[in-house]
Structures are given as C-alpha cells and as structure tokens.
Structure 1
Amino acid sequence: MDRLTIRPVTEPLQGRVSPPGSKSITNRALLLAGLARGTSLLTGALKSDDTRYMAQALRAMGVTVDEPDATTFVVTGTGELKAPAEPLFLGNAGTATRFLTAAVALGRGRYVVAGDQHMRKRPILPLVEALQSLGVSVEAPTGCPPVTIDAKGAFSANRVVIDAGLSSQYVSALLMAAACAAEPFEIELAGADIGARGYIDLTLAAMRAFGAEVEQPSPSVWRIRPTGYTATNFHIEPDASAATYLWAAEVLTGGSIDIGTPADAFTQPDAKAYDIIAAFPHMPDVIDGSQMQDAVPTIAVLAAFNETPVRFVGIANLRVKECDRIRAVSTGLNTIRQGLATEEGDDLIIAADPTLAGQTLPAEIDTFADHRIAMSFALAGMKIGGITILDPDCVAKTYPDYWDAMASLGVTYT
C-alpha cells in the first residue's frame, strides 16, 4: 500500500491484542546467541524488518539461524563471526548496525556494515572513534554508515571512554563485544549524558542471561569479565513501544484493550509512558521524554487531544532516529491544523485542543518511512476524519501486523 485512510471510530475500541516481541531485546538476544558456542532457543521473538536484517547478517557470518515458527529463533553459533563475502546490509536497523559494528571488531578479516539511505544519515562516529582508540582499523568517512572494519581478532587496549550523548546503543554495543575480549575490560562514559539509560539495563540483563559477568562500580563505569557467551534458552517479553499505541488507543476512544501484559511487568524504558498516557486527558504540562524516547511520538499525537498544552523536553536525540522525529511529528500535526505543534530548539510544544475530536480535517501524513510516525498518527485518524497515512507499510520495521491488530479492535480503513 502507498496510503491508508483511517475512518474515525464511533465506538470504544474493545478486545485483546498481544503486542509483538520486543525489538530491542530480540536483536540483543540474536547477537548474543550468535556469539555463543552452541544452540540457543529464543522464544517470544519479534519477526520484523529490523530483526530479519540481524538474522540475515548472522547467517552471512557463519551462524545458523532457524525459524521454526512465527515467534521463535533457533541460533547455533561457534563463538565467532566470520568475515562475510559481501557487505552486511542492515536497512535502517539502528540496533543491528551499532551492535554489529562493535561485535565484528573482534573477528578476523574485513567487514562492511551498511544500510539504506536513511541509515546513511544516522551518526555512528562516537562508536567508530571508541573502536579506533582500541586499536581497531575502522572507517566511516561520513560519520555515518557504511562502516568498514578490518578486524584482527583482538583489541589493543582493555579500557575505552565513549560519548553516549547521541545514543545509548554505543554503550550497549561495546558492552556486548567486551565479554568476548581476551582480558577484563572497562567502559567509561565521557560526561554524564546518555540516551535512554534503561536500554543499558536491557543489555546487561541479556548479557547475564548468556553467561556474561558485568559489574558497575559507578553510574558511568562498567567492568566486564572475558567470559564469552554460553548458549541458553531465552524468552523475550512483548514490545513496550508497541504497547504504547494500544494504551493510547484505549484512552483516546474510552475503550478497553487487554494486551496480555501488565504495564509494570515490562522491563523496557518505554513502559514509563503508561502512567502519562493513563492520565489523559489531563497529561502533565511538561513531559521529559529522555528515558522513553520511542514513546514520544505516541504521546505527542495523543497530546493534541489533551485538555491543556504539553511541552516535551529532553528529546534532542529524536532528531537522529529513523528520521528527525521532532520535525516529523510537528509537520504531521501542523498538516492536520496549522499551529498544533511548535518546535522551540529541541523542545516540542503541542497546542492541545480536545475539540479536534469529531472534526474532519483532511491531511496526508508524511511518515518519512518511519514506523513510529505511521503508528502514532493512526491515533489521530481514530478521532479526526480524513487522516491518510502515506507509506503505511513502513510499520513492518517493528510491527508488521499493526494495521490488522487495530482492525481487530474495530478500526476501519479506506
């Protein structure tokens, strides 16, 4: 499909929808299983564009990845990632790109980590510079992918300082690689800034499940023992970022949607969005999105129907996601009605107006090929007539069944 127009819902959305497995956890588990010796069983996994790219890359490096059903990977590794015959094409999968760039640095031979036109705009220089400080021959001439790594099987140092202000994924990438180093390894943050720190906790939990030993003597230092990884059986929880659309659809329509997992059972950072969404239509005047970044587009579109305006702060990192999400959200809302959104530096201000519900305001929403923009603006279409989502198939990046899931609850399209 190149477009999808959503019909406003006239009844509260009701039913049960199980969100897909967590993208963030699935790609961590796939890599760790690929680095382990033996066979690992990953259940509850997400099958989407992002995880498919990771699985294909592992296969290209000698790892066996079988898929016996829609939510399971069976991964058999030998403890090394062999140099592939061709560049590793990873689409716009940020987790796969950052994680593999560090992991293959301990391989042997030439590895080229590449992506699509969107990935070629996403920064990776801080990770490249950190690897260079470890004696790795690595180049990214534009500061973004593609990245070329000529690996020699080891780091030349056992300590690295990383600037993680743009993304916590740089730290996660180094953490996961470090357990495969030849000696104990230390990672230190340069400065206090770090994108969504909760994702580091996800990384550490996954590493420990595969046998890694990590201690954290301070909030900015991690020490990793050279244990390597041991194959294991690992269950992946549902995706909290996907759950935010369902939570928002429930409160926006006054419905009752059972997602099968209580909000407090999630370990992912975006689950913090639940309490804010549950406060609708009286959400806070100021929302700090720094520790739930992928939930911000959901909450921002919902905020258009809030009783009072909402300012989003701590969201500068959204400018270097799959697209500039601050600009994409403000553009989309202002396409619906000029003045709904304003950018002040890296803050986003939503001029809430509950009377939007029930109006017909024809608008074509440019998703910028970003799954989260498409799924978030579907919420606007549930209450405003004439909302058309361009490139709706981009949801395949993390939630291929999104439109069918919403239809099962009562949403209809033209």
Structure 2
Amino acid sequence: MVPEEARRRVPEPAKDSGYGRSAYERDRARVLHSAAFRRLAAKTQVHTAGTDDFLRTRLTHSLEVAQIAREMGARLGCDPDVVDTAGLAHDLGHPPFGHNGEAALDLLAGGCGGFEGNAQTLRVLTRLEAKVLAPDGTSAGLNLTRAALDATGKYPWPRRPGQRKFGVYADDRPVFDWLRAGAPADGRRCLEAQVMDWADDVAYSVHDVEDGVHSGYVALRPLLVDPAERAALCADVAATYSGESAADLAPVLVDLLAEPALAGLADYDGSHRAQAGLKATTSLLTGRFVAAAVAATQARYGPGPHRRYAADLVVPRRARAQCALLKGIALRYVMRRPGAEARYARQREVLAELVAALVRRAPEGLDPVFAPLWRAAADDPARLRVVIDQVASLTDPAAVAWHHRLTGRPGAGPAVGHPLDTDRT
C-alpha cells in the first residue's frame, strides 16, 4: 500500500529498473534531469549569468540550497530526498533577469492573474515540464509525489489582495488542492518546506556576500569603521528584510562584524590565501545558521525524528537577524550599485516588447511545446498565460535573442541584481 504522501497524481506502473530507488529518490532524479533545471545555468542569480567565472547562477544556487537542506533535514529526521528535491526545484519557475524579470512579468500578466516565481514553479513541476502524460493526453509535468510537491511550496496559498507572494495560479488549483490534501487549511507549510526555505535564506545571504566580496562590490571596511554606514545598513534591512527596527538590528550587526573571520575580509585582495579565508567564512556562517535552527527545533520538539506536519522549524531571532543583515549587505553594495537602473529598465522593456511580439505572432512564434497550448486555450486570458509561460521559460540570453529576432531591436546589457530584489526567493 503506497502511503498518501508518496502517491503521484497520475498513477504510474511499478518500475523494476534494478536500482531499488524509493519514490522520493525518483522525484529527485526527475528534477535533476529536467530541462527546466538545466536552464537555471543561464538564469540570473545576482550577477547576470556568464559575466564572471566565479559567480553563482540559479543552477549553482539551487544545488547549494539542496545540499544545505538535505543535511539540515536529515538531522531533524526528514526524508533527505524530499528536502533535497525541494531545494533543487524551488527556483524552476524564475524567469529571465531574476526578480527584475519577475516583477516585469507580474505587471504584464495582469490580465491572467499575474506572475509569481513560486507559483510558476508549481506550474513547471505539474504541467509544463515534459515527463508524464495524464490519461487524457495532457501533461502531468514531472508527476512528483505529494510530499515532494508540498515541500517545494513556500507560499501554499493563492494570490490575496495586498500580498505579493503566493504559490498557485487560479487554473492550477486542482493540482494544488490535491497536493495539499490532509494539510492544515491555514496555509501552514510542512517541515520540509520550512527547511528548504531556511536553507534558501542561508545560501543566498551568505553566498551573495561571498560573491560580492570576491567581485569587489562589497567592501566591509566602511562598516567596521563608520557608525553612520552601519546605521544606514540597518535602516535598509529594517525596511526590506526584517520586522525588527534599525535600533534593534544595530547591536546584532556590531556582533556580526566582530566575528574575526568576517572582519578579516576587510582586506580581501583576491589572493589564494584570501580566497581560502573567504570560503572559510562562508562555511562558518552557513554551519552556524543551520546548527542554530536544528538545535532550537530539537529543543522545542525533542530529538525527533520530525517530518511533515509533526513540527515547525524554529529559527532563533539572532540567527534570523544576522541572516537579514547579510542580505542587506548584498542589497546595499551589489544590487543597488550606482548606474545599474538604466540596464534594469532595459531588461523590463525587453520582456514587455517580447510579450507584446509573441501575443501578436502566436501561435506561430511559440515553441512547439507552447503553440498547441495556445490553440487549446479557451479565451484571451488563457492565451496570455501561455505566452507568459513561454517567456518565463527562457534563459537570460535566450530572452535577449528572441527579442532581437522578433523586434529587430538590441537587447538588454548585463546587470547585477535589482533594487526590487528584496525577497530573493
């Protein structure tokens, strides 16, 4: 008897491949081998993909999130393949140009319910990615188990007035309702989703600072010597990443900067010794944030094992505040670099012009995967959603190439981050 959490929406015949893999190991393999996962290699993380041999892309970020989530989940008693799959899959729905592209597509998709990267991830996993067909011939996406799909859901609720983040579009409600069967009705996330979310926070906060220091965008010395600069950073963080006031964050920042490994990066010169120190700092901070959450969760709920809805992840206030401050460093010194806004604006123009061109030229202008979906769409909002799906699937360079081919106009130049990139999820 297959447990409910290990069921797939479209039943599949038993496989005897000789590997003896579990259902969750199969889930992980399906994400790892998917086209959507490969495309993350050319999608913006903070710095535009391909602009530096050192810097991260959405693909490397997703691999790092999966590794952190797997180790943290295993220590708590979660199935490691479920949290690993969630980490690999969590960014599959992100469009070209990072959160700048996400904000642009949300405006362009107003006629069909908007755009949100996490809702798009669900759509990719359950509809757009080619792997399994339902009995009626429609795509079931990767047909992951209920547990794996639930673990990818950072925001398990539909769009709500005044709320920017959500996890499901209206026409994906049937599969959403199926995967959430038996889950609390209040939108509570399973433990595996909470583990993945904290792993995501830890990965991008620590690694964005690492990338920023290495690339020369982040200089820590002003924060070490200038109280006004520290106050300005705390104000940025209070306004974007934290519910705490700047005054409450100030002593946390002082303690964080007093960490010898972090303070030692003030004189970073790119040498082999300096790079080794930078990696040591990254490892130290990552381990500290993970250990704090594991210890606090076990202190509240016992040693475990814990999984699904038997416990909630407990992240101590200090660890969450330090993580937010690291995000703020990347925001202030990388994503808000002077002179970048013109390029961000051009990226948004490229997406707007590309969507408009495809609306005019569909279905002929669409890929073979999307053209039949456009023809089968019942109305204009449904056809617009297909166009948005097509554009969201593109990598950064592919979006520029498609735009140039369809409009004859030059594309968007490289940029880093974006002022709206304050959630980074």
* Structure 2 length-normalised TM: 0.22
* Structure 1 length-normalised TM: 0.23
More helix by share: 2
